[in-house]
Amino acid sequence: MKEQLKSIEERAKDELSKIGDVKLLEDFRVRFLGKKGEITSILKQMGKLSPEERPVVGQLANKVRADIEEALNARKAELKSRMEEVRLKEESIDVTLPGKPMKIGRAHPLKVTLEQVEEVFLGMGFDIVEGPEVETDHYCFEALNMPKHHPARDTQDTFYINENVLLRTQTSSVQIRTMEKRKPPIRIISPGSVYRSDAVDATHSPIFHQIEGLVVDKGITMADLKGTLELLMKRLYGDDAQIRLRPHHFPYTEPSAEVDLMCFNCHGKGCSMCKQEGWVELLGSGMVHPKVLAECGIDPEVYSGFAFGIGLERITMGRYSINDMRLLYENDMRFLEQF
């Protein structure tokens, strides 16, 4: 048995010196040192030895096992070191090479326009207020003086969740919530997403963005509304921008007006962009209806106000001469990289 143990040690060390892959070392360990390995097989035969021989053979077996384990660990460390050297050589980096240019992201045209609009109104002392996109019928319609039979409340135009809950069709709901919580003077804009049951085309989408504006104070007139909108348009489109107000009807304003912007392409002469009219319809506006003020706890005999709602997509398309709203949502890098 002593001879067998010495032979196992010699064979193990000889075979170990020839192994060149770390993965093969585990097979080697199992074959020589495992529970069913060669050394264990020798130890199982110790029952045949005399009491005097067993300690001697056991001591020799432990020494052989320890020597093989030590040689195995040394060989493993040596192979790992070699592999690390090879890997470092293969992955060497030439620090003198120029770096790869990184693409720097830019703000989306809608975001850029919104930030500029917000900057204009913040400069005029307005607050930016947000409200829930999932609204109740009360805040979206009833409090805005829209009767039950009003076409805007029809299921063909509105996404209803149930009879009383819906996706807001306008951010005007935020002005009601604000007037309920605040006392005049009030100066706010409320940008956000709105939802309407429209088919997708070049000028319509079931989801888009609206910026609602509201001012309530003593002595507010249509002149204040016109001056505010003129300042906004000049900041967005240049000092030569002109607007006009046309009589219109909205349930929540009285009097009401549609606001047109002189075509920035032809400057009023008429072209394909403005459909030969010289003007582009921009937004709806008017003086807040006395009934709306009263419903929110504001005395219409003391206070008056104006409100307007402008589509963010519409002014963005005008500023950048974009003729299809869908381009703003398709995330086509060929389009977005132009801005």
The per-residue pLDDT for range 170-201, each reduced to its tens digit, is: 999 999 999 999 999 999 999 999 999 888 88
User: In 3D, which of 190, 133, 183 has the Cα closest to residue 296?
Assistant: 183
pLDDT in tens, 14-71: 777 778 777 777 777 777 777 777 767 776 666 666 777 767 767 777 777 788 788 8
238, HSE (Cβ side, Cα atoms, 13 Å): 9
pLDDT at 220 over 90: yes
Structure confidence at residue 80 (pLDDT): 83
Cα separation, 228 vs 123, in Å, equals: 12
Cα separation, 171 vs 185, in Å, equals: 20
Cα separation, 120 vs 98, in Å, equals: 43
Where are the chain's structural domains?
Answer: 2-90, 109-336
User: In 3D, which of 260, 331, 308 has the Cα closest to residue 109?
Assistant: 331
Hey, what CATH class is 109-336 in?
alpha beta
Cα separation, 315 vs 282, in Å, equals: 7
CA angle, residues 278, 283, 284, in degrees to nearest 5: 125
Structure confidence at residue 257 (pLDDT): 95
The model's pTM = 0.67
The total number of residues written for the chain in this structure: 339
